[in-house]
Structure 1
Amino acid sequence: MTTAVAAPFRFFALQVVRTGRLGPSLVRVTFAGPDLDAFHSHGRDQSLSLFLPHPGQAEPVVPLELGDNWWQGWRELPDDVRAVMRSYTLRALRRDALGQTAEIDIDFALHGVGPGAATPAGPASRWASRAAAGDRVLLLGPALADNRAIRFRPPADTDLVVLCGDETAVPAATAILESLPAGSRVRAWLEVPHAGDAQDVRTRADAEITWLVRRGATGRPGTPATTTVVDAVRAAGLTDAERPYVWLAGESGQVKAVRRYFVAECGVDRRRVTFVGYWRRGMTEEQLRTAG
């Protein structure tokens, strides 16, 4: 498989090295590839595009031979041939002794996987739940460390970082927490389907992390928690911050509601609020991309 450059992003041909469950709803997949030394990122909530093969395919089908026109060529392929494209965030990268990138981790939220699932699993969840060493994927990722697909950018005068999200935002939120320096004050609210999805996060920051678990949840993202993120944040008050920076990610409807609370009720300057809808209830990523 060849690679193509679309600066500041490029394609990387990768293979699965190993997988590991992080909880009932989360699995970590570790990838490696011969040209990952060209992969560069400052981390945090670095966004990536992952291309996955359909069952029976040895590798994902993306017409890289078309160069800059790969997108149009990919869109024109038959549905059962065209590689499945999904957006994820970089969980971690590790470099070898020579400073080259040896491995990257991507954490997948599994929806509709396992006994009792209320909704059928999508193609990415099915792939991640069955991924094995040697499986091939294609990744569109950063060739420049500081790129526009990193959205977490707190102003220099920030005196409190606030993080809110559901399980689809957990990989980015935990990567952000690990990146923050000592002395940073952080309050985080992360909503997950099961208690076993909560993670121990290593951070140098002065961080208070609250895990909200959906009682009676089906495992589908956005299922109402016993205490919603908005309720939890409102109960906390957050009256001791003069210059907060707020990062919100997850289901679009919930993200908008939390943003409305911070801007309209708390008076936070909207320029100090970063919000990203990773998914929308009732819509696939293909439908979202078409609607957008």
Structure 2
Amino acid sequence: MTDAPYQFFSVEVLRTERVTPSMARVVLGGPDLARMATAGRDQRVKLFLPRPGEREPVMPDPARADWYDAWRELDPEARGIMRTYTVRELRREPNELVMDFALHGTEGNGAAGDGGCGGTAVDAASGPATRWARAARPGARISVLAPVEEENAGYDFRPPEGTDWILLTADGSAVPAIAGILESLPPGMPARVWIEVHDPADRQELPTKADAEIVWLTRDHHAPPATVDAIRAAALPGGIPYAWIAGESATVKAVRRHLVAERGFDRKAVRFSGYWRRGASEDHLMAAAEAA
């Protein structure tokens, strides 16, 4: 796979830290990370986690270009558990891959069950990614399918030339992507941001050179999402907008509907991704897609 835009990387945990009560950071290292690339922003990669009792995940032949078919051909009870996550940071000197894992025990996905087919996954407390992130210790090994070119198909945030301002919304599962996007914005770019978390302690600093107004929303696990109402009540800037929406699928659709139908946003200027679906795991979503 040396000429492929995506390649497999074998990595191991270097260290971990708790960013917030509901966000664990895992810093990964490996001899080949110098070849890995990222576009920043909401760059997606595939993580392959070991099964319980395994030291590292069972993986397909890395020389096969049809990696997904090769992975599916492996014994489902033995092959590495695949999840989709957003790169928080790819560092140089030394080469380190930083991944943040949302740990909410009642939400789906990367993060009830595992979800996250679009970016960062949030696992339920019983989900394999959350279990792995909570237990990760230096030396633990996983595999990553990641780009080797900065320009790749694994990210969605692509505001066109002429965009006057940016609108971003997310829940806890998409905070790493929001962080990457904010870091990528040019100095002074107006940005309106809404992020919904379950506890005020889950707020974190999000560095940016943009002229960003960040609103943190907090709601109880059993309360309806507050994002749509907050945006509906807001006075938005004039000019040509570009919106990026990610998080729980139903909330994402509701925000998109409001922006297009009520605010008059051009559909092509709204990028949306359901990172997880309440009650559905990434395994369930992949199975449904294959059945369709």
- Letter matched to residue 254 of structure 2: A
- Give the aligned length: 274
Residue deviations 1:241-283 (CA, integer Å, cap 9, x gap): 2201000011111111100000000000001000111111111
Is 1:81 paired with 2:78? yes
**Residue deviations 1:189-243 (CA, integer Å, cap 9, x gap):** 011121111001111111111111123x2xxxxx545x611011111131x3220
The 5-angstrom pairing of residues 52-91 of structure 1 reads: 52-64=49-61, 67-91=64-88
1:145 equivalent to 2:150? Answer: yes
Match for residue 110 of structure 1?
103
**Counterpart mapping for 1:198-237 below 5 A:** 198-215=203-220, 217=221, 224=223, 228-237=226-235
**Aligned equivalents of 1:204 and 1:260: distance in 2?**
29
Tell me which of 251, 255, 260 is aligned to 2:252.
Answer: 255
| TM-score scaled by length of structure 1 | 0.89
Give the aligned residue type for 1:184: M
TM-score, scaled relative to structure 2: 0.89
| Secondary structure of 1:208's aligned partner | strand
Q: 1:148 to 1:257 in 2, by over 3 A?
A: same
Correspondence for 1:220: none
Q: Is the 8 A contact 1:52 1:138 kept in 2?
A: yes
Does 2:158 align with 1:161? Answer: no
Q: Which runs of 5+ in 1 are unaligned?
A: 218-222
Give the partner amino acid of 1:191. Answer: E
Secondary structure, in 3 states, of the residue corresponding to 1:91? strand
| Residue pairs, 1:120-199, within 5 angstroms | 120-199=125-204
Q: Counterparts of 1:39 and 1:27 in 2: how far apart (Å)?
A: 22
1:39 paired residue number: 36
In the TM superposition, residue 76 of structure 1 has moved relative to its aligned partner by 3.1
Distance 1:76 1:120 in 2: 28
Distance 1:229 1:89, change over 3 A: same
Range that drifts further, 138-147 or 57-66:
57-66
CA-based RMSD of the aligned residues comes to 1.9
Q: Distance in 2 between matches of 1:25 and 1:212?
A: 15
Q: Measure, in 1, the Cα distance between the counterparts of 2:70 and 2:168.
A: 38
How high is the sequence identity, in percent, across the aligned residues? Answer: 49
- Are the counterparts in 2 of residues 62 and 70 from structure 1 also a CA contact under 8 Å? no
Decide whether the 8 Å contact of 2:4 with 2:65 is kept in 1. no
SS of match in other structure, 2:69: helix
One-letter code aligned to 1:254: T
- How many Å apart are 1:54 and its aligned residue? 1.1
Deviates more, 1:61-70 or 1:15-24: 61-70
Q: 1:105 deviation in Å?
A: 0.6
**Secondary structure class of the residue paired with 2:230:** helix
1:26 and 2:23 correspond: yes
Whichever residue aligns with residue 228 of structure 2, its letter is: V
The answer for the alignment partner of 2:120 in structure 1 is: none
Question: Structure 1: how far apart are the matches of 2:2 and 2:233?
Answer: 48
Is the 1:6–1:68 contact (alpha carbons within 8 Å) kept by the matching residues of 2? Answer: no
Corresponding letter in the other structure for 2:229: D
Say which structure, 1 or 2, has more relative contact order (CA 8 Å, 6+ apart).
2
Match of 1:270 in 2: 267
* CA shift in 2, pair 1:80/1:19, >3 Å: same
**1:177 offset after TM fit, Å?**
0.7
Q: Residue by residue, what CA displacement relative to the aligned partner does 1:76-106 show, whole Å, maximum 9, x if unpaired?
A: 333331111000001011111xxxx600111
- Cα distance in 1 for residues equivalent to 2:129 and 2:3: 24
